[in-house]
């Protein structure tokens, strides 16, 4: 129908659904949290659905209660969140998109309150860590809550004049708080990368830049990782991320005897993101090649790259 015709917009670039408004996206936190902002960046017209925990967001997708979930996976300050990679491995959702966002923290307080009156500050533990320098200057008591936006909500709904919240500017608007200080994060280039997850994979194309995320293991030995990277390099495929991770559940393995008793080594999981679509033959060939010698290999998803920060 003519009325459903739309011109291409930003949302088309980040969404594979034709009608944004019908998409429900689960995120951990309360309205005004950074995960909600990531959901709205990916799907500007979506209904963002708050969840208590990441696990709940995964379950909500699996049980068809929502269409997507958004998950913070790495930040330029804190590094990769291994715990959230574990969730990806434990569940069977597919990565269908990514969102990169510059995270700016504000100190929020009740209207009329001066910054000198703030005696304690609430926020998510990570936000508290990211604003350590500014908070130490204020010499306030720091209290952890589930989420940045929940902190703002708590200050507002309990009318706490001596309490501030570290949260987004949007949280200030949503909960009727004032911004007492802006950009209080220690590192000004605080980029967080979020993944968008769904029950069904995106059918990758070659019409725009795609990225593929994989996880795999390798037999121990010198040069095995080199061999693994060869499958990409020999096909001119660029990597945007590589990370080795000591494997959970069996972090230690006793090998050999080097004279000083038994040495103990980690086994590893490897995370790689590469710049190619699984619709390309070279990506198919690379993964086929990798599978020849990787005891475990899983494609977490193939999805359009986020090229807008």
Q: For a copy of itself, which residue of 17, 24, 65, 78 counts as binding (CB under 8 A)? A: 78
Catalytically annotated residue among 163, 192, 232, 274 = 192
**For this structure, is 148 an active site residue?**
no
Which of these segments, 19-27, 33-41, 168-176, 216-224, binds a copy of itself (CB under 8 A)?
A: 216-224
Q: Does 242 bind a copy of itself (CB under 8 A)?
A: yes
Question: Is 59 or 82 the residue whose CB approaches a copy of itself more closely?
Answer: 82
Q: Does 137 bind a copy of itself (CB under 8 A)?
A: no
Spell out the alpha helix ranges (H) of the chain: 10-14, 34-42, 54-62, 82-90, 125-130, 132-138, 148-157, 169-175, 224-233, 281-291
Q: Does 178 bind a copy of itself (CB under 8 A)?
A: no
Q: Does 77 bind a copy of itself (CB under 8 A)?
A: yes
Q: For a copy of itself, which residue of 141, 173, 281, 296 counts as binding (CB under 8 A)? A: 141
Q: Does 81 bind a copy of itself (CB under 8 A)?
A: yes
Determine the Cα–Cα distance for residues 40 and 65; give it in Å rounded to an integer: 18
Residue 24 C-beta: closest distance to a copy of itself, Å: 25
Q: Does 225 bind a copy of itself (CB under 8 A)?
A: yes
Question: Is 67 or 218 the residue whose CB approaches a copy of itself more closely?
Answer: 218
Q: Does 82 bind a copy of itself (CB under 8 A)?
A: yes
**Residue that has been written with the tokens 């320098």 in this structure:** 133
Contacts from 123-127 at CB under 8 Å and sequence distance 24+?
123/148, 123/151, 123/165, 123/166, 123/167, 124/148, 124/151, 124/166, 126/78, 127/166, 127/167
- Report residue 43 as tokens: 């799907």
Q: Find out whether 135 and 50 touch, Cβ atoms under 8 Å.
A: no
**For this structure, is 194 an active site residue?**
yes
Q: Does 76 bind a copy of itself (CB under 8 A)?
A: yes
Spell out the alpha helix ranges (H) of 29-176: 34-42, 54-62, 82-90, 125-130, 132-138, 148-157, 169-175
Q: Computed from CA positions of residues 80, 81, 86, 92, in that sequence, does the dihedral angle turn out positive or negative? A: negative
Active site residues: 192, 194
Residues that bind a copy of itself (CB under 8 A): 13, 75-83, 125-126, 128-129, 141-145, 187, 189, 191, 208-209, 221-223, 225-227, 229-230, 232-233, 236-246, 248-249, 251-252, 258-266, 305, 307-309
């Amino acid at each position: 129908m003519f009325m459903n015709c739309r011109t291409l917009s930003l949302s088309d670039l980040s969404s594979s659904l034709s009608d944004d408004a019908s998409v429900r996206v689960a995120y951990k936190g309360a309205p005004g949290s950074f995960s909600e902002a990531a959901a709205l960046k990916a799907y500007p017209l979506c209904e963002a659905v708050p969840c208590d925990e990441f696990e709940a967001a995964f379950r909500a997708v699996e049980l068809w209660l929502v269409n997507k979930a958004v998950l913070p996976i790495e930040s330029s300050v804190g590094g990769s969140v291994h715990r959230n990679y574990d969730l990806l491995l434990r569940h069977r959702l597919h990565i269908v998109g990514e969102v990169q966002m510059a995270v700016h923290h504000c100190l929020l307080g009740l209207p009329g309150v001066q910054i000198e009156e703030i005696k304690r500050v609430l926020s998510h533990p990570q936000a508290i860590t990211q604003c350590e320098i500014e908070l130490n200057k204020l010499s306030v008591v720091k209290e952890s809550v589930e989420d940045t936006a929940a902190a703002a909500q708590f200050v507002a709904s309990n009318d706490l004049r001596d309490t501030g919240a570290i949260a987004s500017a949007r949280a200030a608007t949503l909960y009727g708080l004032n911004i007492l200080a802006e950009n209080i994060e220690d590192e000004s280039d605080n980029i967080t990368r979020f993944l968008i997850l769904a029950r069904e994979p995106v059918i990758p194309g070659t019409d725009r830049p795609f990225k593929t995320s994989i996880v795999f293991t390798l037999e121990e030995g010198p040069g095995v990782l080199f061999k693994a990277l060869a499958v990409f390099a020999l096909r001119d495929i660029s990597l945007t991320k590589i990370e080795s991770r000591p494997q959970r559940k069996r972090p230690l393995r006793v090998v050999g005897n080097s004279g000083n008793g038994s040495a103990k080594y980690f086994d590893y999981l490897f995370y790689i993101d590469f710049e190619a679509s699984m619709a390309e033959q070279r990506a198919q060939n690379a993964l086929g090649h990798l599978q020849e010698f990787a005891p475990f290999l899983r494609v977490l998803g193939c999805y359009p790259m986020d090229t807008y920060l």
